[in-house]
Amino acid sequence: MTRIGIFDSGLGGLTVLRELIKTNKASYFYFGDTLRVPYGGREKEEIISFAEDIVDYLENYNIDYYIIACNTISVLATDILKEKYNKDFIPITDMGLRASLACDGDFLVLGTKTTVNSHFYKNNIEKLKDAKVYEVAATKLVDLIESGTLDEENLKFYLDDYLQIANEKKIPNIILACTHYPIIRDSIEKRLTYKANIIDPASYASKFLKSDDENLDINIFMSKKTTATENLIGKILSSPYKLTYTEEV
Ligand code: DGL
């Protein structure tokens, strides 16, 4: 069996796992750091050290290679992790970039403060395409999602603010540059006053990955049991999984 490690600051990366298992059977080992989420906005050194804690944990499971499901970790730690563990780490941001390069028109990047401040998508897309890339740090969304009780009114309030530029300029492509956002994709689409092309890097990742094992096996580790883990995991994943709360990283 191919053993794939996949990790995120919390539950968001399950949206990546959900897409991967549609087309790729393998043994998956997912770690969500629900104890220390959110990562977006934290110091670079702290995020790198958290990512190393997660990989140290997953290394106990003989992982063949990793998918960094978190955009925030991807933009800060990919090279450091590759060098330290001498294994392949596929950053979700590369998947998002490849998916975006196939689309025409301007882009809005919706991400955490860290992802937006890295300008990863903006710099790369504007270098390679004749397109303008707008960026919005949607800082409140991860907290709202991880709280486990999505208050629609509250969500609308923030979304109308974060999507204002998209609605004003009718930006054709919106990159969901944070793995938590696909969880509220319907709400995002409802708050847009026009039809945008929503780019979910996870969809591209599921086509990019090539694993044709016979069986699917899903192991999930969460560093803390929360209202959100109880409410959301089963809603995001429809395949059977084994869940362990580590209460540490
Ligand atoms: N889900 C993560 C991402 O893709 C970050 C969420 C957070 O912890 O701030 O960027």
pLDDT (tens digit per residue) in 92-114: 999 999 999 999 999 999 999 99
Q: pTM for the complete prediction?
A: 0.95
Q: H or E segment at 229? A: helix 227-236
178 is catalytic: yes
How many CB atoms neighbour CB 198 within 10 A? 17
Ligand 1 pocket check for 118: Cβ under 6 Å:
no
Report the percent of the chain where pLDDT is more than 90: 87
Burial of 212 (0-12, 13-18, 19+ CB in 10 A): exposed
Q: How far apart are CA 70 and CA 76, in angstroms?
A: 10
Q: Whose CA is nearest to atom 2 of ligand 1?
A: 70
Which tokens sit at 224?
A: 């803390």
pLDDT tier, 18 (very low <50, low <70, confident <90, very high otherwise): very high
Q: Give pLDDT, residue 107.
A: 98
For ligand 1, whether the C-beta of 71 sits within 6 Å is yes
110 C-alpha vs ligand 1 centroid, how far in Å? Answer: 11
Q: From the CB of residue 129, how many other CB atoms can be counted at a distance below 10 Å?
A: 16
Is the beta carbon of 232 within 6 A of some atom in ligand 1?
A: no
| C-alpha of residue 139 to centroid of ligand 1, in Å | 10
How confident is the model at residue 249, as a pLDDT?
72
Annotated active-site residue 103? The verdict is no
pLDDT at 121 over 90: yes
For 44-60, the pLDDT digits (tens) are 999 999 999 999 999 99
Distances (CA, A) of 64 to 36, 104, 226: 26, 35, 30
Would the annotation count 245 as a binding residue?
Answer: no
Q: Where are the alpha helices (DSSP H) in 135-200?
A: 141-146, 152-162, 164-169, 185-191
pLDDT of residue 230: 87
Catalytic residue, candidates 90, 163, 171, 178: 178
What's the CA gap between 194 and 168, in Å, rounded? 10
d(CA 93, CA 82): 15
d(CA 136, CA 167): 13
Average pLDDT, the chain: 95
Decide if pLDDT at 162 tops 80.
yes
228 alpha carbon – ligand 1 mean position (Å): 15
* Cβ 96 under 6 angstroms from ligand 1: no
181-217 pLDDT, tens digit each: 999 999 999 999 999 999 999 999 999 988 778 999 9
Domains of the chain in sequence order: 3-91+205-245 (3.40.50.1860), 93-203 (3.40.50.1860)
